[in-house]
Structure 1
Amino acid sequence: MSEQVHLAEYLFVRLKQLGVDSIHGVPGDYNLQALDYIEPAGINWVGNASELTAGYAADGYGRIKGVSALITAFGVGELSAINAIGGAYAEMSPVVHVVGTPPTAAQNAGVVLHHSLGDGNFRIFADMYAKVTVAQANLTDASTATSMIDRTLRECVLQSRPVYIELPTNMVSTKVSARPLQRPLDLSIPHNDEGFEDAEVELILAKIYASKQPFIIVDGFTAALDITKEADELVRITGFPTSTTSFGKGIVNETYSNFHGIYAGEAGKQVYRPWVESCDLILRIGPLASDVNTYGFTTLPNPKKTISFHRNTVEIGDSNSFNNVHVKPLLRKILNRLDKSKLPQYDPYPDLGDPAEQLRLLPPTKPDGIIDQETFWQRISTFFRCGDIILTETGTPSIGGRDFVLPPQTTLINSGIWLSIGYMAGAAQGAALAHRDIVHSISKLSSTTIDANSSAVIAANPPTSRSSQQTFSKRTILFIGDGSLQMTVQAISDIIRNKLALTIFVINNDGYTIERWIHGMKAKYNDIQPWRYLLAPAFFGADMDSADYPIVTHRAEVWGQLWDLLEKKEVQECKGLMIIEVMMQREDAPDALKKLVANAARRNSGIKQELANGHGTSEKAISAAG
């Protein structure tokens, strides 16, 4: 590499070094020159049908790969994507949003340009993005641009949240030093103060040893904090009864004998909630205290009995809070020092539920029986296998998917707070692409000997990657309702364009069923236009006769048809795009959803009173989000 490179080249090479093998986005006149540098940097251009689905896809890619990138144009393009970036911020997904902006001279002069508000203010959109990103960089000065890029990318990875980079058109080809590219970006976690950390570790271990009835809750931010391995190890070594939240489902190995499914508070088994409330120690890892994730705040534990592990904070009881503590090295030290001989010996505890056993006990279905919401989500678990990536859209799929019985090394993506319907269609495209990129990188490494410090190794095995899979099934499986799919159906076009292997189960229950249960069961505003979903691939230009990228579409109206489909080899292998439309009753919903929306209705009419009646539902506890 020469001593100097163009600024856009620097940016995309750096992204490639981080592990971004594909970049999502939509071309616009303010980013067109920058797009010319993507493929020379070794990055695949996805080319999305809309900025919103591009943003959703970048979010999904980041959740699997550990970092992702999105490029849009100033104004109209970036505002179309801001909903997706807001969701990535709320749920901690690392997305680098690059925005092509007008030339600096025009901005400084306040010229009235297209895609602006016409008031000469070119900072207004950046100001908006400052609210939903953790770092921003406006690359207007060549002398500082590369350091700003590196700083911003570092924050994206370490905080696992979106960042915002403005690239003016006149700066794209500006020459900058290439020297920093010779060194990998420093992604090391700052060390905790040794003495301070030791005292904290000993305090936590003492509470674990002194407990009589401990309980572990693994939540969804565990993955974003890169402590999945530590959480799983803690569950396995201690043998403590363990559950996840809905947002955290799939993070720990669900085949462990001490795993008892999702802790669902008032929406779960009657024996579970009082038993948890009787526990004298609760270890809460990567928590998200949202209403949906905590079943209307009914799973929030008593803070006096709880140790909560956040990114840079550990809360021990309701009086000790340690800040500026990095959770990953802290947990690692706890595990290294853990003395199994001092762990409490459990007396038999109530049957909290064995998801696999509950699946086995389900009565057989009748071939002509109607496919019901209450058991579909458990029964479909027999289709899953190690290495699958599974996504459940907000609504009946997300609620029902909490009953999945997952094999080891399975990744589940759902939404724990943002709940933007239609998100999962785009996210599934991004997740499938990330899955393929990881497999391709590993395949290249297996046939090539490379210096361990080279950027090629960094690109193939980015230190930020969340994918802990040892088995790659190459299957990405999406469950999405008909109403949600209509929001972002363009994502199917992006899937076909990039020839991604993806299975889509479209749950067709004729409208917004979750909204019907919240309010307006018979109301017209919860109806949707009936689409012919199985014709979507042809409409989006798929070659229906392609041998290299097969398109498979089926409809299942009764159990017999569904089981016959799932036994087909083409369905199990899914080498291309497969859409299975599953017909369900209009007003049918999982029991947990009915309880959840009833709780939501009560909250909407009087949340303050409900919070006052709950355990540990202080403003601090409710707003805690990692």
Structure 2
Amino acid sequence: MSERMTVGRYLAHALHSVGVQHLFGVPGDFNLALLDEILAADAVEWVGAANELNAAYAADANARMSRRISALVTTYGVGELSAVNGIAGSYAEDVPVVHIVGMPATPAMASGAPIHHTFLDGDFGRFVRIGAEITAHHVVLTADHAAEQITTAIRAALSLSKPVYIGVPLDVAVAEIDADGLGGADMAGDGGAPLAHAADTSMRAATFRQMLRTRLAGASDVVLLVGPLVHRRALEPMIAEIAASSAVRVATQIGAKAALDEGHPASLGTYMGKFTRAAETAAAVDGADVLIVVGAVNSDFTTGFASAGFDPEQAIVLDATTTTASGAVMQLPLEASLALLRDELAALAPSVAHASSVRAGSEPEAPLTPVPPADPATPLDQATLWSAIQGWLDKEVTLIAEAGTAFYGALDLDLPAHSDLLGSPVWSSIGYTVPALLGASLARPDRRSLLIVGDGSAQLTVQELGTVYARGLAPVVILINNGGYTVERLIRSPEALYQDIAQWRWAEVPSALGAPEGSLSVTARTVGELDSALVAADEHRDLPVFIEVVVPPLDAPRLLTALATSISATNGH
């Protein structure tokens, strides 16, 4: 006799079977029965957020850092709409998040009942349609087909690296169904791999292998340009295997910084067209004999405003589900195409004319220009701030950097081995990183998280620090207080009233949000104060650290200044 369980419990076990460990969200009356069933399954851990937007941001970061899918639960209408910006960001940045929405009961929706959280017009599909616009798959579960509907949705998230939407009516959440379909392999495809990987790709693989042999034969220089899909698919180990070949050097896009450890002999650092920090990196990518673009995302920011010096038509492009080479497009998932590339390079490396001496002649990215030691009483600016952070980074870290000053300052850092840079260069929605700190820290409890965020961005979502503290996490937070929206000031109207924000007593915020006794919270206005704060941060590794850093309003890191100039020109300012 088949085991039976409620749809809510089935959903919990299905998520657990593909690696989901934490369920983020906010309760509401239409999802309470669903939450009771999910939590009764004892398969995933509930993480309550301060609001639904923060839950979406936290789930996004959790998926990125765990290299798996993640999930959040909201209530119908008011809850799911609050999460829309976060889910849209996951779609833009190719992050597989399962958005679960508790809905009114099926009969109530069918009858058009005048229920709260609606427009009282009987249209219960309106918010589902909104969800459909920002997800790769959407479904409202029915009791008769819930198991297969859940499997299809999870497979879509896995194979496409995109968010999906699952609506669960109140009556369906508690309806009992057969549990035969549970299991990692059933959820994800053959062998637990995403659905796309289970397809027969042998003929396309053979075609791609032959094309590779033709292109690589006699090649003098092979460069990989790696993008963020490598993170989404947990393919960093394969990139490292490929980089072990003497034939290969590796550069990364800004959304994939440190996909290969930046101290690796094959690392060229980060490539961003004309904004690339090291001339050697730009020359290597633009002049490669064979350029292979792996899991890249091409936007104005990631391409340096389309300033790349290579011809994309001549590159071999490995994408999520397709491979493009020599004018031909093949349906081949990224995992398969990258494995074929690894195997062919391993076989050809002895005969490829790219010896270690060539690699030695192409130095990795130039280190961040050190700032000469300053008098401890010297007021802080961006240069001294980033130099101090660079000197402090000596252990593996999850570095989370807010869009704007923080992210584009962090791109010029050299990260320690086994570290990650988490940001949102495509969606670039300010406020992302404080909730992202929560999700990322839960995904990687084995290493310390460092959040760098601006004052304007922090005011949007800073309340989620309360959840961070309540869960006993011990991150370092560096808040850049530059009196408002510096990146916007650099683009246009620096003195405009709208560039200013309310001034907070930032050093008191952690205490108000429940930071444990003994936590460090200080303000640094001078070089000496920052140095002392960073030393103290190392002495408080088991407790949260909050450092407010005060810098001039119009001061900005190198890369942000260059980008702002380009944005201003592009927007006609």
The whole-number CA distance in structure 1 between the counterparts of 2:568 and 2:472 is 43
Q: Assess, with a 3 A threshold, how the Cα gap between structure 1 residues 572 and 229 changes in structure 2: closer, same or farther.
A: farther
Is 1:158 the counterpart of 2:159? The answer is yes
Q: CA deviation at 1:350?
A: 11
One-letter amino acid matched to 2:118: S
State the identity as a percent: 30
Q: Deviations over 1:67-118 (max 9, x none)?
A: 2110001001000001000001111111111101011111111122111122
Aligned counterpart, 1:367 = 376
Is 1:539 the counterpart of 2:512? The answer is yes
The whole-number CA distance in structure 2 between the counterparts of 1:210 and 1:221 is 29
Aligned counterpart, 1:82 = 84
Q: CA deviation at 1:295?
A: 1.3
Gaps in structure 1 of 5+ consecutive residues: 437-471, 607-626
Q: Deviations over 1:316-343 (max 9, x none)?
A: 24x2322x11121222122223221122
The whole-number CA distance in structure 2 between the counterparts of 1:27 and 1:269 is 46
* Alignment match of 1:99 (pick from 98, 101, 106): 101
Q: Deviations over 1:402-425 (max 9, x none)?
A: 011111111111112100000011
State the secondary structure of the residue aligned to 2:476: strand
The whole-number CA distance in structure 2 between the counterparts of 1:283 and 1:365 is 44
Aligned counterpart, 1:424 = 433
Aligned counterpart, 1:109 = 111
Quick check: 2:223–2:284 contact (8 Å CA) kept in 1? no
State the secondary structure of the residue aligned to 1:358: coil
Q: Assess, with a 3 A threshold, how the Cα gap between structure 1 residues 284 and 182 changes in structure 2: closer, same or farther.
A: closer
Q: Deviations over 1:512-554 (max 9, x none)?
A: 0001001111111111111111211222244x42xxxx52212
Aligned counterpart, 1:558 = 526
Aligned counterpart, 1:237 = 245
State which drifts further: 402-411 or 151-160: 151-160
* Alignment match of 2:542 (pick from 575, 591, 599): 575
Q: CA deviation at 1:208?
A: 2.6
TM-score when normalising by structure 1: 0.85
Aligned counterpart, 2:559 = 592
Q: CA deviation at 1:166?
A: 0.8
One-letter amino acid matched to 2:338: L
Aligned counterpart, 2:329 = 321
Q: Deviations over 1:373-420 (max 9, x none)?
A: 235334413333444211110011111110111111111111121000
Q: Deviations over 1:241-288 (max 9, x none)?
A: 432121110211111223232223222358454664333321111111
Quick check: 2:88–2:134 contact (8 Å CA) kept in 1? yes
State the secondary structure of the residue aligned to 1:231: helix
Aligned counterpart, 1:261 = 269
Q: Deviations over 1:310-369 (max 9, x none)?
A: 01111224x2322x11121222122223221122236758986644x6348553343223
Q: Assess, with a 3 A threshold, how the Cα gap between structure 1 residues 275 and 222 changes in structure 2: closer, same or farther.
A: closer
The whole-number CA distance in structure 2 between the counterparts of 1:172 and 1:314 is 40
Aligned counterpart, 2:231 = 223
Aligned counterpart, 1:605 = 572
Aligned counterpart, 2:175 = 174
Q: Assess, with a 3 A threshold, how the Cα gap between structure 1 residues 353 and 336 changes in structure 2: closer, same or farther.
A: closer
* Alignment match of 2:307 (pick from 298, 302, 306): 298
One-letter amino acid matched to 2:341: I
Q: Assess, with a 3 A threshold, how the Cα gap between structure 1 residues 102 and 400 changes in structure 2: closer, same or farther.
A: same
Q: CA deviation at 1:300?
A: 6.3
Quick check: 1:373–1:589 contact (8 Å CA) kept in 2? yes
Q: CA deviation at 1:501?
A: 2.2
The whole-number CA distance in structure 2 between the counterparts of 1:371 and 1:512 is 18
> How do 1:220-619 and structure 2 match up within 5 A?
220-269=228-277, 271-272=279-280, 273=282, 276-299=285-308, 301-317=310-326, 319-322=327-330, 324-338=331-345, 339-345=348-354, 354-355=364-365, 358-359=367-368, 362-374=371-383, 376-436=385-445, 472-473=446-447, 475-542=448-515, 544-545=516-517, 550-568=518-536, 570-571=537-538, 574-605=541-572
Q: Assess, with a 3 A threshold, how the Cα gap between structure 1 residues 241 and 178 changes in structure 2: closer, same or farther.
A: closer
One-letter amino acid matched to 2:11: L
Q: Assess, with a 3 A threshold, how the Cα gap between structure 1 residues 502 and 21 changes in structure 2: closer, same or farther.
A: same
Aligned counterpart, 1:467 = none
State which drifts further: 121-130 or 14-23: 14-23
Quick check: 1:255–1:408 contact (8 Å CA) kept in 2? yes
One-letter amino acid matched to 1:555: T
Q: Assess, with a 3 A threshold, how the Cα gap between structure 1 residues 169 and 259 changes in structure 2: closer, same or farther.
A: same
Quick check: 2:277–2:412 contact (8 Å CA) kept in 1? no
Q: CA deviation at 1:19?
A: 2.3
Q: Assess, with a 3 A threshold, how the Cα gap between structure 1 residues 335 and 240 changes in structure 2: closer, same or farther.
A: closer
Quick check: 2:397–2:450 contact (8 Å CA) kept in 1? yes
The whole-number CA distance in structure 1 between the counterparts of 2:81 and 2:566 is 33
One-letter amino acid matched to 2:63: G
Quick check: 2:57–2:435 contact (8 Å CA) kept in 1? yes
One-letter amino acid matched to 2:340: K
The whole-number CA distance in structure 2 between the counterparts of 1:281 and 1:573 is 48
The whole-number CA distance in structure 2 between the counterparts of 1:278 and 1:38 is 54
One-letter amino acid matched to 1:388: V
The whole-number CA distance in structure 2 between the counterparts of 1:91 and 1:75 is 24
Q: Assess, with a 3 A threshold, how the Cα gap between structure 1 residues 377 and 216 changes in structure 2: closer, same or farther.
A: farther
Q: CA deviation at 1:497?
A: 2.5
Quick check: 2:25–2:48 contact (8 Å CA) kept in 1? yes
Q: Assess, with a 3 A threshold, how the Cα gap between structure 1 residues 512 and 602 changes in structure 2: closer, same or farther.
A: same
Quick check: 2:37–2:174 contact (8 Å CA) kept in 1? no
Q: Assess, with a 3 A threshold, how the Cα gap between structure 1 residues 401 and 312 changes in structure 2: closer, same or farther.
A: same
State the secondary structure of the residue aligned to 1:143: coil
Aligned counterpart, 1:145 = 146
The whole-number CA distance in structure 2 between the counterparts of 1:495 and 1:80 is 20
Quick check: 2:71–2:98 contact (8 Å CA) kept in 1? yes
Q: Assess, with a 3 A threshold, how the Cα gap between structure 1 residues 480 and 361 changes in structure 2: closer, same or farther.
A: closer
The whole-number CA distance in structure 1 between the counterparts of 2:157 and 2:464 is 25
One-letter amino acid matched to 1:120: G
The whole-number CA distance in structure 2 between the counterparts of 1:182 and 1:241 is 39
* Alignment match of 1:196 (pick from 195, 204, 226): 204
One-letter amino acid matched to 1:84: G
Aligned counterpart, 1:457 = none
Q: Assess, with a 3 A threshold, how the Cα gap between structure 1 residues 16 and 489 changes in structure 2: closer, same or farther.
A: same
TM-score when normalising by structure 2: 0.92
Q: What count of residue pairs does the alignment treat as equivalent?
A: 560
Q: Assess, with a 3 A threshold, how the Cα gap between structure 1 residues 146 and 514 changes in structure 2: closer, same or farther.
A: same
Aligned counterpart, 1:462 = none
The whole-number CA distance in structure 2 between the counterparts of 1:411 and 1:232 is 15
Aligned counterpart, 1:11 = 11
Quick check: 1:390–1:478 contact (8 Å CA) kept in 2? yes
State the secondary structure of the residue aligned to 2:467: helix
> How do 1:5-44 and structure 2 match up within 5 A?
5-42=5-42, 43-44=44-45
The whole-number CA distance in structure 2 between the counterparts of 1:181 and 1:350 is 52
One-letter amino acid matched to 1:497: A
Quick check: 1:190–1:326 contact (8 Å CA) kept in 2? no
State the secondary structure of the residue aligned to 1:237: coil
Q: CA deviation at 1:211?
A: 2.8
The whole-number CA distance in structure 2 between the counterparts of 1:13 and 1:349 is 48
The whole-number CA distance in structure 2 between the counterparts of 1:166 and 1:278 is 50
State which drifts further: 491-500 or 93-102: 491-500
Q: Assess, with a 3 A threshold, how the Cα gap between structure 1 residues 366 and 238 changes in structure 2: closer, same or farther.
A: farther
State which drifts further: 10-19 or 61-70: 10-19
Quick check: 2:69–2:96 contact (8 Å CA) kept in 1? yes
Q: CA deviation at 1:192?
A: 4.7
The whole-number CA distance in structure 1 between the counterparts of 2:285 and 2:215 is 17
